[in-house]
């Protein structure tokens, strides 16, 4: 068993990152020009890393699926980005952000990484302001803050409901400057199909040109994956349609351990599913919970009438409404973390109090906020979100409460990385949502953008340099060696196989079936029996896929069905690992909720004695069981206790 070395630097928690930077190896400017780096992904993590590494002087090649880096999934982020600036003077600090993040993640994240994240959070805001990111400001000119779940302070910086877009434009301008200088070479409409290893180190990638269909080889001294999350394994999610787990999965199959695959975030405020032919779910940002109050009818009879369309929520009297989050969690109320809010919504709907025609929805009501602040204030804060809701649901949320329900949103699991964000394949680094991240078993709202930009602007430029310092005598790689040859051949064979099946089921129909298995058994509530069933069902579905899928079209040229089939083939394997990981973890923590392990009040019940570790899985072959490696988590700077959102 390879020993997992997380390479946490010595020293007190507040000094670790400073110590690391003080002692790391550097590459002199003349040598940086001799070194090539591949960055896969142009979202906030990849875009920021590529721009920063190029600014340092390395030769960077950057790849993305979309026709422009600006279309990475990060553009969808709505609500905001956290930082411990304490501008509102409400008691925030680096320590408090660190504390809230570790607690929010249910004590399943690595302390040293989380502290570093909190520490550099303030630099991110300065960097983005310098780039011209138009964060919301107060009348006096100071940057404005709002609140997100799991915190009692306001530390979320935002640009209306379009924070991701504005941050991505900032990263894109930094990247464009480097493209113009020639230090970054941009490859759009390319999908990474595999990693190329030479003598055990990551030395390149094989990509498919999505326009011509041709396979291309690219070599480098190091590879960074910043390819986002794998929430689309569930078919329906809030993720962009092209979000996929392929790059991380290929890395796993080449030897990079995959950590905590079952840690999935289910976001409480999404527009409920409304039909069988839906392929996408829409998020209503968590920021809405600043002013919106969540409730369901107290009486089941009212809920039933609402479901049948016989009663409007505006006609339900105040005393007949159950503001269940405020009732159950007086201290945090509507701002409890996402896992807690999602489970509470499910509990009310399962008990028969849900609304909407399916009974699988709860209300998010702005009536009180509009009465208190005026419609214009609410419109200024959330106007674009209200407009989006009205377009999709055809109801005016200023007049009738929004209907929301939990949906798959974010994946805390991902490639296992050490403190340097390096995977178990030397020279393969992973950043942003693609790594197993700093969020433990549950991510707090507005912390993904913070982590992506922290990794990209402030961590990887140092840690990758530390690795590259002993690569200066390694010449540029040619791509005609046997390793590139063989890896390209493997990719070609998979593509040919998929096209040759000519079965009777569409890729989407099989993906949807996988999604149902995942949602029913590996979703919001899990249990041993369901997880075992899921593993068997996924294995059967996978066999059927490889015998019965229909992938029309050619390999040479644009072929969206082929692109989807390649991604679903990965999901069909990754889904099984997620179920295995959930089955292994005989406890409930954060987003991982096992029916068998809950307190009398229905809260997640951890088992710290046996499960206080990150589960890192090692691939052992196509039909072999993966091996589990455990990274023990040690908490020296925070007291580990049962999460409590009832009192401050
Ligand atoms: C609707 C929505 C709203 C959100 N709002 C917030 C918010 O307000 N605050 C917050 O903190 N977080 C939010 N999040 C989460 C956050 O947006 C994401 O976690 C984050 O943007 C991920 O950034 P990333 O750089 O890791 O990956 P992404 O932005 O997903 O970028 C992935 C990149 O990798 C490329 N790529 C992927 N696979 C391949 C491949 N095989 N080959 C080549 N290229 C590849 C893609 O083309 C893309 O460029 C939200 C998420 C959603 C879904």
In DSSP notation, 129-145 reads: HHHT----B-TTSSBP-
Ligand 1 within 6 A of CB of 455: no
| Residue 632: burial class (beta carbons within 10 Å; 0-12, 13-18, 19+) | exposed
Distances from the Cα of 314 to the Cα of 270, 363, 375, 406, 549, angstroms: 21, 11, 17, 23, 48
616: which strand partners?
259, 629
Question: Is 449 in contact with 164 (CB distance < 8 Å)?
Answer: yes
Scan for tokens 């390793």, then name that residue.
483
**Whose alpha carbon is nearest atom 5 of ligand 1?**
77
Q: Where are the alpha helices (DSSP H) in 504-558?
A: 507-522, 528-548
Structure confidence at residue 237 (pLDDT): 95
Tell me how far apart the alpha carbons of residues 263 and 246 are, in angstroms, rounded to a whole number.
Answer: 18
According to the model, what pLDDT value does residue 2 have?
57
pLDDT digits (tens, 9 = 90+) for 143-165: 999 988 889 999 999 998 899 99
Ramachandran area for residue 289 (φ above 0: left; ψ -120 to 50: alpha; else beta): alpha
In the DSSP assignment, the letter for residue 228 is -
Integer Cα distance of 260 and 433 in angstroms: 13
Helix, strand, coil percentages (3-state) for the chain, rounded to 5, are 40, 15, 40
CA gyration radius, the chain: 24
Q: Are strands 549-550 and 505-506 parallel, antiparallel or unpaired?
A: parallel
| HEC per residue, 339-352 | HHHHHHHHHHHHCC
Task: Output the pLDDT for position 623.
Answer: 84
Tell which residue, 612, 588, 617, has the closest CA to residue 527. 588
Q: What is the pLDDT of residues 270-289, one digit of tens each?
A: 999 988 888 889 999 888 98
Q: List phi, psi (to 5°) of 104.
A: -55, -35
Alpha carbon nearest to ligand 1 atom 53, residue: 239
Helix (H) or strand (E) holding 479: none
Which atom in ligand 1 lies closest to the alpha carbon of residue 286?
Answer: 8
**Is 279 within 8 Å of 236 (Cβ atoms)?**
yes
| Alpha-carbon gap, residue 332 to 324, rounded angstroms | 12
Tell me the whole-structure pTM to 2 decimals: 0.96
Q: Is the CB of 174 under 6 A from ligand 1?
A: no
The finding on whether 238 has its CB within 6 A of some atom of ligand 1 is: yes
pLDDT in tens, 384-422: 899 999 999 999 999 999 999 999 999 999 999 999 999
Q: Which residues of 453-484 are buried (b: 16+ CB within 10 A; e: fewer)?
A: bbbbbbbbbbbbbbbbeebeeeeebebeeebb
Nearest to 39 by CA among 240, 165, 169, 178: 178
Identify each DSSP E strand in 276-395 by its residue range.
293-297, 321-322, 362-365
Q: Cα(41) to centroid of ligand 1, in Å?
A: 9
For residue 286, the SS3 value is helix
Provide φ and ψ at 480, rounded to 5°: -100, 10
* Cβ of 40 less than 6 Å from ligand 1: yes
Q: Is the CB of 164 under 6 A from ligand 1?
A: yes
In sequence order, what are the beta bridge partners of 549? Answer: 505
State if residue 237 touches ligand 1 by the CB under 6 angstroms criterion: no
Q: State if residue 385 touches ligand 1 by the CB under 6 angstroms criterion.
A: no
Flag residues of the chain having pLDDT under 70. Answer: 1-2, 648
Name the 3-class secondary structure at 421.
coil
User: Is there an atom of ligand 1 within 6 Å of 452 CB?
Assistant: yes
Q: How far is the CA of 433 from the centre of ligand 1 (A)?
A: 7
Q: What does the chain come to in residues? A: 648
Distance (Å, whole) CA 300 – CA 320: 10
Residue 639 neighbours by CB under 8 Å, 6+ apart: none
Q: Which residues contact 293 (CB under 8 A, 6 or more apart)?
A: 323, 326, 334, 364, 365, 366, 368, 369
Q: Could you give the strand order of the β-sheet that contains 321-322, starting from the edge strand earlier in sequence?
A: 264-270, 402-411, 362-365, 293-297, 321-322
CA distance linking residue 63 with residue 11, whole number of Å = 37
């Amino acid at each position: 068993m390879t020993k997992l070395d997380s390479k946490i630097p010595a020293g007190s928690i507040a000094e670790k990152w400073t110590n690391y930077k003080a002692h790391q190896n550097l590459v002199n400017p003349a040598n940086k020009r001799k070194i090539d780096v591949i960055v896969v992904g142009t979202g906030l993590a990849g875009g920021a890393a590529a721009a920063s590494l190029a600014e340092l002087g390395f030769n960077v090649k950057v790849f993305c699926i979309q026709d422009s880096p600006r279309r990475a999934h990060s553009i969808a982020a709505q609500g905001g980005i956290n930082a411990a600036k304490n501008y509102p003077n409400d008691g925030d600090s680096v320590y408090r952000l660190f504390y809230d993040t570790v607690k929010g993640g249910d004590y399943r994240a690595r302390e040293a990484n989380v502290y570093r994240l909190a520490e550099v959070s303030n630099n991110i805001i300065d960097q983005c302001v310098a780039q011209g990111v138009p964060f919301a400001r107060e009348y006096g000119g100071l940057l404005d803050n709002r609140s997100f779940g799991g915190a009692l302070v306001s530390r979320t910086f935002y640009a209306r409901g379009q924070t991701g877009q504005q941050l991505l434009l900032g990263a894109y301008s930094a990247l464009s400057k480097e493209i113009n200088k020639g230090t970054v070479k941009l490859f759009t409409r390319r999908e990474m199909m595999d990693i190329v290893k030479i003598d055990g180190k990551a030395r390149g990638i094989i990509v498919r040109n999505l326009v011509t269909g041709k396979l291309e080889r690219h070599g480098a001294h190091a590879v960074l994956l910043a390819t986002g999350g794998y929430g689309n394994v569930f078919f329906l999610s809030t993720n962009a349609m092209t979000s996929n787990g392929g790059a991380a999965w290929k890395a796993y199959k080449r030897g990079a351990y995959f950590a905590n695959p079952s840690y999935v975030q289910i976001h409480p405020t999404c527009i409920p599913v409304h039909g069988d032919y839906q392929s996408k779910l829409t998020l209503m940002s968590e920021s809405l919970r600043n002013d919106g109050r969540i409730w369901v009818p107290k009486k089941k009879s009212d809920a039933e009438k609402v479901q049948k369309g016989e009663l409007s929520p505006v006609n339900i009297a105040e005393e007949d409404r159950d503001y269940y989050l405020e009732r159950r969690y007086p201290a945090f109320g509507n701002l409890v973390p996402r896992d807690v809010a999602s489970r509470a919504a499910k509990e009310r709907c399962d008990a028969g109090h849900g609304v909407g025609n399916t009974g699988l929805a709860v209300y998010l009501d702005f009536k009180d906020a509009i009465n208190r602040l005026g419609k214009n204030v609410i419109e200024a804060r959330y106007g674009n979100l209200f407009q989006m809701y009205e377009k999709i649901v055809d109801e005016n949320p200023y007049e009738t409460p929004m209907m929301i329900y939990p949906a798959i949103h974010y994946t805390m699991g991902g490639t296992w990385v050490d403190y340097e964000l390096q995977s178990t394949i030397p020279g393969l680094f992973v950043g942003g949502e693609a790594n197993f991240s700093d969020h433990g078993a549950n991510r707090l709202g507005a912390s993904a953008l913070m982590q992506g930009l922290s990794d990209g602007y402030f961590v990887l430029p140092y840690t990758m340099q530390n690795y590259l310092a002993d690569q200066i005598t390694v010449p540029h790689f040619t791509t005609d060696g046997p390793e590139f040859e063989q890896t390209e051949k493997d990719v070609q064979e998979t593509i040919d196989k998929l096209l040759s099946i000519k079965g009777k089921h569409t890729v989407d129909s099989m993906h949807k079936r996988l999604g149902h298995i995942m949602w029913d058994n590996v979703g919001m509530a899990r249990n041993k029996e369901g997880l075992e069933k899921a593993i068997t069902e996924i294995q059967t579905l996978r066999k059927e896929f490889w015998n019965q899928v229909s992938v029309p079209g050619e390999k040479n040229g644009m072929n969206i069905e082929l692109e989807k089939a390649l991604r679903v083939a990965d999901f069909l394997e990754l889904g099984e690992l997620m179920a295995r990981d959930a089955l292994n973890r005989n406890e409930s923590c954060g987003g991982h909720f096992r029916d068998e392990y809950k307190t009398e009040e229905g809260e997640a019940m951890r088992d710290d004695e046996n499960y206080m570790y990150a589960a890192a899985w090692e691939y052992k072959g196509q039909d072999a069981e993966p091996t589990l490696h455990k990274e023990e988590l040690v908490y020296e700077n925070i007291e580990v206790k049962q999460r409590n959102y009832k009192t401050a």
